[in-house]
């Protein structure tokens, strides 16, 4: 049995990306936060921990960085706040606006989260030439842009933006 003709080959990017995501979630250590945090929450916490060293972080920053809807970000951040990893503090210029501040509890996990993410990134890249990784990154960013643009267009057509 030979390889399928090029015309018969169907891209299965979504399935492959889903499978990678599934493996990342399964293999990600749950020790950070004593199992209190999901895979996505660990990534968000790491983002908050690192970015808050240089600037104030707001929910909108999390939404944009992780390409998630407001309702999704709200739910995750509320759980992280309830678990004691972050607090939300009013800012003087606008009492409605709340900056996200990592707690001391979260700070204790900074090194561990950073090491686990670096280890997983290394496993993902193992045996792949850097040029191929660069191409992969460019293609994935382009695909993400395609989906983001399509989602915005769909939201605009439906008159909703999840607010």
How would you classify the pairing of strands 94-102 and 57-58?
Answer: antiparallel
pLDDT band at residue 156 under the 50/70/90 scheme? confident
Can you give the length of the chain in residues?
163
The DSSP output letter for 35 is G
Is 12 among the domain residues? Answer: no
CATH of the domain at 39: 1.10.10.10
Mean pLDDT estimate for the chain: 84
Number of domains present in the structure of the chain: 2
pLDDT of residue 118 exceeding 50: yes
The DSSP output letter for 32 is G
Same domain, 145 and 83: no
Quick: pLDDT tens for 8-64. Answer: 566 788 899 889 888 877 776 545 555 678 878 888 998 999 899 899 999 999 999
* CA separation for the pair 156, 160 (Å, rounded): 6
């Amino acid at each position: 049995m030979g390889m399928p003709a090029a015309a018969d080959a169907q891209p299965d990017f979504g399935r492959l990306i889903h499978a990678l995501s599934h493996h990342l979630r399964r293999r990600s250590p749950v020790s950070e936060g004593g199992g209190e945090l999901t895979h996505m929450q660990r990534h968000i916490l790491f983002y908050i921990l690192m970015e808050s060293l240089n600037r104030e972080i707001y929910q909108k920053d999390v939404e944009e960085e992780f390409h998630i809807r407001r309702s999704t970000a709200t739910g995750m951040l509320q759980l992280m706040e309830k678990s004691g990893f972050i607090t939300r503090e009013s800012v003087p210029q606008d009492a409605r606006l709340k900056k996200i501040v990592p707690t001391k509890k979260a700070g204790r996990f900074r090194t561990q989260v950073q090491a686990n993410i670096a280890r997983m990134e290394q496993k993902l890249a193992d045996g792949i030439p850097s040029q191929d990784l660069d191409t992969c990154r460019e293609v994935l960013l382009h695909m993400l842009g395609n989906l983001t643009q399509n989602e915005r267009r769909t939201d605009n057509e439906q008159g909703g933006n999840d607010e």
